[in-house]
Amino acid sequence: MQKLDPTQLPATLGGQLRRHLPAYALGMVMLGAFQLAMNRIDWLSKHAIDRIFGNEAGAPSIPALTMLVIAVGAFVTRVASRWFIFNAGRDVEYEMRFLMLDRLQKLGTAFYRKMSAGEIMSRATSDLAQVRLLYGFGVLNIINVVFAFASTLQVMLTLSAFLTLVCLANIPILVMISRTVSRKLFTATRENQDSLGHLSEVVQANLAGVRVVRSFALEERERERFEVANERYLQASLSLARLRGSFQPIAGATAAIGMLVFFWYGGTLLLKGPENGGLTQGDFFAFWLAFVRMTWPMIALGFAWSMIQRGRAGFSRLKEVFDAKPEVVDGTRRAPAHVSGSLRVTELDFSYAARDAAAGAKSLPRKVLDGVTFDVRAGESLAIVGRTGSGKTTLALLLARLLPTPPGAVRIDGIDVCELPLSAVRSQIGYAQQDAFLFSTTVSRNVGFAIDDPDSPGAMERIRHAATEAQVLGEILTLPEQFDTVVGERGVQLSGGQKQRVALARALVWEPKILVLDDPLSAVDARTEAAILEAIERQAERRTVVLITHRVAAASRCDSIIVLDEGRIIERGTHDELVRAGGLYAAFAEEQRMASELDELDDVAIPSNPAPVEVTS
Amino acid sequence: MSADEAPKSATPPASRAAEKLKAFHEESSIGKAYDARLIRRLWPYVRPHSKFIVVSLVMLVFLTALGLMRPIVMGDVVAKAASRDAHGLMRDGAALAGLLVVMQLMSYAQIYAMQLAGARSMSDLRRSVFMFLQRLHLRFYDRTPVGRLVTRATNDVDAVGELFAQGVLNAMGDVFTLGGIVVMMLVLDWRMSLIAFVALPVVGLIVNFVRKRSREAFRDIRAKTARLNAFLNEQVSGISVVQAFGREKAAAAEFDEINVAYREANKRSVYYEAVLDAAIEMVSTLCIASILWWAGFDHLGEHTITFALLVTFTQYIRQFFEPISMLSTRYTIMQSAMAGAERIFQLFDEKAVHPPASGAKCAPSGDEDVVALDHVIFSYKEGTPVLKDVSLHARRGEKVALVGATGSGKTTIASLLLRLYDADAGSVKVFGRDVSEYDEHELRRSFAVVPQDVFLFSGTVLSNIAMADAKPDRARATLALERIGALELFERREGGLDARVDERGANFSGGERQLLAFARALYRDAPILILDEATASVDSDTESRLQIALDAVMQARTSIVIAHRLSTIRAADRIIVLHKGRVAETGTHDELLTKGGLYARLYRMQFAHERAQASDRTVGVTPAPPPA
């Protein structure tokens, strides 16, 4: 398979059409040949019949046998035309989907705040499908209708211009009907899908919240919600059915009127006979064949017409993704060959301008980070401590340029990260995020996410090792297929703590020069935490570690600690210094000591089989 | 995510993980197209609407008959023209017109009646699935992903519905049409008919051959579509992980393989569909050509074949192959409908269901104990009991704190009281009656629950507070918020009480969700409160708000608090210390202290610690214990 280069792919309707021009041209030739063959068949039928009924000299078997051969030719060209053009449509769809992922990967949080996952998916599915229909069905039918018109008119006009005129009177009506119905069908189909979507949302929420529903005895309310959604879907599917059902009779009746006109007036001409300016049996037959042949392309024209409009509308929605500007782009400087891993942050300010502007806040956007300055020497460890909302995560994201880092604020080995290519920054600063997002693939693929060939024996070794370090190996081995168990979405569900440790193992496998761990232990119990912290310490021997945490036990193991509060560093020093200083950090330390003592209740030896002490006062 | 992850069908999967994923994602087996057992089970849902089906089928018979007549009338028009009967020509023309209009109208009614029957029965079936899901034991939910169950009520029901939407019952019409045409052609001219009949097996073979492959391609497309969308969806939601790990290229390569596989499957399907349509057209042209050829010979001899017959015959041939193609399409739909029905009825066969609510009222006994557990044993998974012989009780108005490490069984006790699960042994009593004696709804109405993970429904703040009410009482909700001291916090939000709540409350912070849960509990005003204190860290402002809220909801209620904060524990009338599924100690704060056991040791440690930290802290200090 040839690799596509996203930069070479045109993201415009015209560009894609030009790119696949050879296929379209071949398809066009095939369509031309097909319609020519059909035209020949009409004429051959005429000759055969006229020869049978003595209107023409010669043996009827010659045109009849020629017809056999041409019918095979028509078959081949018809299949080939669809093959070329529909496949081109599929190729366009494929390339646009490819482009879409490419764009989505470059876009940052600013974009994802504006466009929800649902909206993105609707572009990738229904809008893209509309575009594909435009490039397949739409193009084919537009080309076909031209040839079909030429091919049938040639027969019909030659035989009787007036009959042609009379018969064709209803053709524009047919085109308009099919176009209107096609439009309405689209709306009705969408409503049908929306109501199905709503219905599954209702069911989904009901099942996901099954414990709440039962605890609060909400069944009655839920049943009503369901009834409303179910009824809406029923009505939507019935109105779609009415519309679909009505198209055939309306189009059929319109086409039938044409047919009737033909049989009646054509019959009159047949009655006159060729000698009086009428038709021969062969003429009648050939005209009939040609006329029948014209109906479908005309109906399809109506469909193709509205399909082109929808395809363009769908494409304009795709453009919103294609044209979105990534907020974080590659720097121009070449990636350094060797990185020691020192990190320097100077006067880092940051605010989520876009979000506040969108919310309509009149005041200046609140600074999430304000003048944050610190240094971490290569190979040292730093803990960032602070309450929820103090800006810890934002700071971590800025280090790896996962948000638009202001130029000059973050330096690796003295080089501004904004000047480096993104791939270089992110391979040197590894950020492991707070919420443990796992992919719905096997456990080993999740842990070995950062490894290029996760199936090699060496990789498996590393994966196992990381799982051991993250204290999750034992649990993985109890899963139905151990490391090959598929987790997530539709696979085995892991507990919050297990997910977090798998995610931690994923970060440990990675081995970047600077490892940023964002609260990797929030859902892990104290004993496991201690073991994991030792593993992180071992990591810290080989690299620079930035540990974001609200746990003092974790922070105390780091070489230095900074305390963030409302975006500012309010304290810095070692654990002992900060505890002595008696500030926020010391308060944290105290709070957590109390909490951990409560936890230790479990570890206090109590009689293994105590008689329940029922104290009654 | 190596390049060989999802190999082309020709080469074997290159890795273990790839094999697992393939087996995991691809649709497994295809069932039979007809299964009498499933049809019998479907029938009760269809029967109430069967009158529409009868109407539809009667019309189908008429339609088929009219369809058979059309070529005759057409031929007759031509015959009248040949015999120079101008009057007859007019009459036949009118007959043809009438025939066509009647046929179109009837076909509309026929299709719609079928759809009506189908859509209504499927709506009923869907309701049954939903109601069944409401009665399934929670144990079932513990082991089944929610997404799969949603599919039962949506996609699977729709697959069955296709039986009607695509008019599979019209297959009867197809067979009838086919037979009718055969008879008509034989009657008209048996020798010419033979030519068409020779083509019949050829068409049958072609259709069978192509459809089989096209079905496979179609199934392939479905599996690939699901995978493609799932993958993209996951990439979008996990984009920050992909970007942080710098795995864009690897992800793109994996996506490309799925994308290519999807495209190729589609191309195959395009090809087969095109071949099928074109082949049928070709065969009918070949038939017509052969008949013309034959007519040529015949004509030289006896002059038996008239032009009218030729026209009629041609028309029959055009109509001849359509039912064959339709029959094969309908077979495919049948197959997937049966598979859908199979999955739905498999769900219905699930034994772990609660009996339908009896609605029987159950008078509370005069017992002083509001809730009581007596030697209760319970396990989620067989062999690993979570509660091992637990006995405890709470008297009217008492505040009982359950204390213990994660996994000691605290939350399980709450679930048993609500009868979300049934105890394996021992008794669980509420107001002196065993929970199994109550109507479930009746039982649960006695409780207000504040869970650790608050689940918000999409809607508004108000609709979430007044969860059980169809018409929320705004004043009562406002009062509830006010009493927990969170009214201004929520009124500050744009929209106030009518502020939008996204799916699962995604636009609310953990603290806000907790506060909403407290407001819910107050609004509900049930005699018993079950509170599972949140362990997640919240900022100090929210922390103090939660404390106020907690005091407000516990007032004048029997409360069972799964406590994590010392302040909450000390405020309790009685403390029950759980350890590994057993009650280790029970008593008031003072009693337990005097007893000098587990709790006392804990408290002394805590006390000493707090004295050592005598100086005032502005942040992070647990508030002073309120008087017991």
Give the mutation candidate from A121, A200, A214 for the B interface (greatest B CB count, under 10 A).
Answer: A214
DSSP state of A366: P
Average pLDDT taken over every residue of chain B:
77
Give the pLDDT of residue A62.
84
> pTM of the predicted model, to two decimals?
0.75
Decide which of B386 and B367 is more confident: B386
Give the pLDDT of residue B615.
32
Give the pLDDT of residue B606.
52
Is B501 in contact with B464 (CB distance < 8 Å)?
Answer: yes
Give the pLDDT of residue A193.
82
A543 close contact with B: CB closer than 8 A:
no
Is there a contact between B150 and A211 if contact means CB atoms under 8 Å apart? Answer: no
Q: Which residues of B379-417 are buried (b: 16+ CB within 10 A; e: fewer)?
A: beeeeebbbbbbbbbbbeebbbbbbbbeebbbbbbbbbb
Give the pLDDT of residue B625.
37
Please say if the pLDDT value at position A6 is more than 90: no
Q: Work out the angle at residue A476's Cα, subtended by the Cα atoms of residues A473 and A480, and round it to the nearest 5 degrees.
A: 155
Backbone angles phi, psi at B138, to 5 degrees: -65, -25
pLDDT digits (tens, 9 = 90+) for A499-534: 778 888 888 887 788 888 887 776 666 667 777 777
Please report the residues numbered 273 through 292 in chain B whose beta carbons come closer than 8 angstroms to any beta carbon of chain A.
273-275, 277-279, 281-282, 285-286, 288-290, 292
B573 close contact with A: CB closer than 8 A:
no
Determine the straight-line distance between the first and last CA of chain B, rounded to whole angstroms: 60
Give the pLDDT of residue A529.
74
- Interface pTM (ipTM) of the complex? 0.81
Q: How confident is the model at residue A73 (pLDDT cuts 50, 70, 90)?
A: very high
Residues of B in contact with A4 (CB under 8 A): 256
Give the pLDDT mean for B188-198.
82
Give the pLDDT of residue A78.
92
Give the pLDDT of residue A614.
38
Is there a contact between B266 and A45 if contact means CB atoms under 8 Å apart? Answer: no
pLDDT digits (tens, 9 = 90+) for A159-214: 888 888 888 888 888 888 888 888 888 888 888 888 888 888 888 888 878 887 88
Give the pLDDT of residue B303.
56
Task: Name the nearest CA neighbour of B340 among B137, B110, B45, B138.
Answer: B45
Q: How confident is the model at residue B32 (pLDDT cuts 50, 70, 90)?
A: low
B43 close contact with A: CB closer than 8 A:
no
Q: How confident is the model at residue B28 (pLDDT cuts 50, 70, 90)?
A: very low
Please say if the pLDDT value at position A34 is more than 90: yes
How far B621 CA sits from the closest chain A CA (Å)? 6
Please say if the pLDDT value at position B488 is more than 80: no
Among the listed ranges A341-345, A550-554, B351-355, which one has the minimum average pLDDT value?
Answer: B351-355
Give the pLDDT of residue A360.
45
Give the pLDDT mean for B439-461.
81
Q: How confident is the model at residue B125 (pLDDT cuts 50, 70, 90)?
A: very high
Across A3-12, A607-616, B357-366, B579-588, the highest mean pLDDT is recorded for B579-588
Give the pLDDT mean for A408-417.
81
Give the pLDDT of residue B51.
92
Among the listed ranges A384-388, A607-611, B237-241, B376-380, which one has the minimum average pLDDT value?
Answer: A607-611
Please say if the pLDDT value at position B626 is more than 50: no
Give the pLDDT of residue A57.
75
Q: How many helices (H) and strands (E) does chain A have?
A: 24, 10
Give the pLDDT mean for B225-253.
80
Tracing tokens 């230790």 back to the chain, one arrives at: A600
Residue B88 has, within 13 A of its CA and on its CB side, a CA count of 14
Give the mutation candidate from B19, B124, B146 for the A interface (greatest A CB count, under 10 A).
Answer: B146
Q: How confident is the model at residue B251 (pLDDT cuts 50, 70, 90)?
A: confident
Please say if the pLDDT value at position B539 is more than 80: no
Give the pLDDT of residue B359.
53
Give the pLDDT of residue B624.
37
pLDDT digits (tens, 9 = 90+) for A309-353: 888 888 888 888 888 888 777 777 777 778 777 888 877 788 776
Reported as type and span, the H/E element at residue A372 is strand A369-376
**Rounded distance between C-alpha atoms, residue A400 and residue A410, angstroms:** 9
Please say if the pLDDT value at position A147 is more than 90: yes
B24 residue type, one letter: F
Q: How confident is the model at residue A1 (pLDDT cuts 50, 70, 90)?
A: very low
CB atoms within 10 A of CB A535: 18
A291 close contact with B: CB closer than 8 A:
no
**Rounded distance between C-alpha atoms, residue B444 and residue B526, angstroms:** 9
Q: Which residue of B has its CA nearest to A605?
A: B598
Give the pLDDT mean for A535-563.
80
pLDDT digits (tens, 9 = 90+) for A247-306: 877 887 787 778 778 877 888 887 787 777 788 888 888 888 888 888 888 888 888 888
Is A492 in contact with A438 (CB distance < 8 Å)?
Answer: no
CB atoms within 10 A of CB A117: 15
**Between A and B, how many CB-CB pairs are < 8 A?**
474
Please report the residues numbered 390 through 429 in chain B whose beta carbons come closer than 8 angstroms to any beta carbon of chain A.
390-392, 403-406, 408, 418, 420
Give the pLDDT mean for A577-603.
67
Decide which of B168 and B534 is more confident: B168
Cα–Cα distances in Å, from A283 out to A211, A275, A291? 76, 13, 12
Q: How confident is the model at residue A363 (pLDDT cuts 50, 70, 90)?
A: very low
Give the pLDDT mean for B172-182.
86
Give the pLDDT of residue A358.
43
Is there a contact between A210 and B138 if contact means CB atoms under 8 Å apart? Answer: yes
Give the pLDDT mean for B71-100.
77
pLDDT digits (tens, 9 = 90+) for B131-142: 888 888 887 877
Residues of B in contact with A463 (CB under 8 A): none
> Which stretches within A448-495 are classed as H helix?
457-469, 473-477
Q: Which residue of B has its CA nearest to A78?
A: B278
How far A109 CA sits from the closest chain B CA (Å)? 8
Paired with A343 in beta bridges are A376, A412
Give the pLDDT of residue A355.
44
Give the pLDDT of residue B610.
43
